Amino acid sequence: MAIANKDVRNDVQPFSEDNLNPHFINLLELLKCSILPEQKYNFDEPLQDSCFKEHILNVETNLLNAIPLLSKLRKSEVIPKKIVLYTILVAGENSTITMWTNRKIMMYADILLKEVLNRYGYSNLSSLLELEVGDYLSELRPKLLKNSWKNYPAAVDSFIWILFSLKCPHIGEHLHSVLPTCLLLTDDHVYDNKVKGLQCLQHVASNVSRTDLDQYGQGAVIYKAVEHMIYIREPKIIPHLAKCLIALLSKTEHSPTSQSLTWNHFDDVLNIWLPSMEMEQKLVLREAYMENLNEFLQAMGLGSARWSRKLILIFSDYCEQEHSCEMSLKTLLTFINSAWPRISNHFHSIVIILMKVIINMKTKGSISNNSTKPSRIIVQQCFKALEKLSNFMYCDFVNKMKKNRDMFHLYKLVMEEDINYYVT
């Protein structure tokens, strides 16, 4: 297998199939013995740190012995493909702190991986993976089946590490190989595994084309797999689900610049989320919803105009709460810019929300505090957006505001010198 790389001679095959002399056999054995063996999963008896003490000691010794074996190879010697493969798998299993690894093992694995990369002039793992990613995924596949993946937690970590090292367009070429494991993770009852699955699906959706997702209905498969999670009221899930949906729907549905108002999956999500937001009383969930609604509306674009009335009610409620005010104002500004054709219909409702925010700042004595400065700036931006979209209505609002001295004073405090345009 020849490598197209300027640092590798055309007549050199870096990864040999059969070149396993005794020196290589010892190195390969050390790497194989460093792979975490099967762990019998038991729901009632979850794995503990104590289960991996012996494994950690063995891996430390194995990798410490493997480093000089690899580094002493002559530059002219060809590394067997199996050694490259197991070097990558070991590095993947020990890419983050877990019960079966430690920082010393991570350092040793990284040294081995860098030695392989440096030998062939690669600056990062992605370039190396692009050559034989199918082989790495095939090696992991038996450990990542429906009935086996829970017994191989390190293989899951290795898969995720390899997946996140791949970028467009190489994920699209192997979509059929990576999706099954991602979907298994999202379908698990353990929230931590669901989060891992959502992160994987977000990465996949962000690094494939719309054509890749449309082929064989892969985009529809991903949406169907995460659809049930839209109903989950869990702060740990909501942000990752939102990011996953945004990455996916931005490609499978209309683009943010589209003028189409046809109902799509963006609307299906809001049809569930907005009633939940309206009724939600737990602060942590209110924050989770609002923090992710902003990016969701940005991705949805003009289609958010369909939800104007429901959104205005939510903004009115959430902007009155100190803990969610700033983020709610940011999302309100996004809504104003996204749903611009409908803003004149809701001009007065939006102005009331903004003035209530100003009054609340005054009541709490924070209208001039640095702590509320971000909110005041966003209020200014909202007023300027309203002025641009509904200039006549905005001028009329300011003129009426002048009749109430106290209110106009508060308004000027927030708007600062920007109000001079309207002062006669």
Query: CA dist 9 to 14, 15, 120, Å?
Result: 9, 13, 10
Tell me which amino acid residue 129 is: L
Continuous segment of H or E residues that includes residue 80: strand 79-80
pTM to 2 decimal places: 0.88
Residue 30: closest CA among 81, 80, 83: 83
Spatial distance between the Cα atoms of 398 and 393, rounded to a whole number of angstroms: 9
Query: CA dist 18 to 8, 13, 22, 37, 82, Å?
Result: 20, 12, 12, 25, 9
Residue 360: closest CA among 322, 386, 331: 322
- Which two structure tokens, joined as six digits, stand for 247? 């990455």
Alpha helices by DSSP H, listed for 97-169, are: 103-119, 125-140, 153-165
- Which two structure tokens, joined as six digits, stand for 371? 């702590």
Which residues is 16 bridged to in the sheet? Answer: 80
From first to last of its 424 residues, the chain has per-residue pLDDT tens of: 333 333 333 333 444 445 567 778 899 999 999 999 999 877 667 788 888 999 999 999 999 999 999 888 777 777 888 999 999 999 999 999 999 999 999 999 999 999 988 887 788 888 888 778 888 999 999 999 999 999 999 999 999 999 999 988 889 888 999 999 999 999 999 999 999 999 999 999 999 999 899 888 999 999 999 999 999 999 999 999 999 999 999 999 865 455 567 899 999 999 999 999 999 999 999 999 999 999 999 999 999 999 999 999 999 999 998 889 999 999 999 999 999 999 999 999 999 999 999 998 888 776 777 778 889 899 999 999 999 999 999 999 999 888 888 888 888 888 874 434 333 3
